[in-house]
Amino acid sequence: MIVENDFIFNQNTALIDKANFEWSAPSNIALVKYWGKKDHQIPANPSISFTLNHCKTITKVAFEIKNSDENFSFDLLFEGKPKEDFKHKIQKFLERIEVYCPYLKKYHLKIDTKNTFPHSSGIASSASGMAALAMNIMSLEKALNPSISDDYFHQKASFLARLGSGSACRSINGKIVVWGEHAEIENSSNIFGLEFTSPIHENFRNFQDTILLVDKGEKQVSSTVGHDLMHNHPFANQRFNQAHENLSKLKKILETGNLDEFIKIVESEALTLHAMMMTSMPYFILMKPNTLKIINKIWKFRTETNLPVCFTLDAGANVHILYPENYKVKVLQFIKDELVGYCQNGQYLCDEVGKGSQILI
Nearest to 230 by CA among 240, 222, 220, 245: 240
19/132 with CB nearer ligand PMV: 132
Instruction: Establish if 30 lies at the interface with ligand PMV (CB under 6 A).
Output: yes
Site mask for ligand PMV (CB under 6 A), range 191-230, x = bound: --------------------------------x-------
Segment contacting ligand PMV by CB under 6 A, of 70-78, 123-131, 138-146, 327-335: 123-131
The alpha carbon dihedral of 143, 94, 34, 215 has a sign of: negative
Return the residues of window 288-347 that contact ligand PMV according to CB under 6 A: 314-315
Instruction: Establish if 126 lies at the interface with ligand PMV (CB under 6 A).
Output: yes
C-alpha span between 51 and 352 (Å, rounded): 8
Segment contacting ligand PMV by CB under 6 A, of 5-13, 95-103, 122-130, 322-330: 122-130
Q: How many residues bind ligand PMV (CB under 6 A)?
A: 15
Q: Is the peptide bond before 234 cis (omega within 30 degrees of 0)?
A: no
Segment contacting ligand PMV by CB under 6 A, of 31-39, 186-194, 243-251, 322-330: 31-39
Q: Of residues 7, 21, 23, 34, which one binds ligand PMV by CB under 6 A?
A: 34
Rg (CA), the chain: 20
Instruction: Establish if 115 lies at the interface with ligand PMV (CB under 6 A).
Output: no
192 and 179 in contact (C-beta within 8 Å)? yes
C-alpha span between 258 and 66 (Å, rounded): 56
Query: At closest approach, how far in Å is the CB of 338 from ligand PMV?
Result: 26
Nearest to 263 by CA among 333, 203, 206, 341: 203
Write out the DSSP string of 245-273: HHHHHHHHHHHHT-HHHHHHHHHHHHHHH
Query: At closest approach, how far in Å is the CB of 274 from ligand PMV?
Result: 9
C-alpha span between 61 and 111 (Å, rounded): 5
Residues near ligand PMV, by CB under 6 A: 30, 33-35, 47, 124, 126-127, 165-167, 223, 273, 314-315
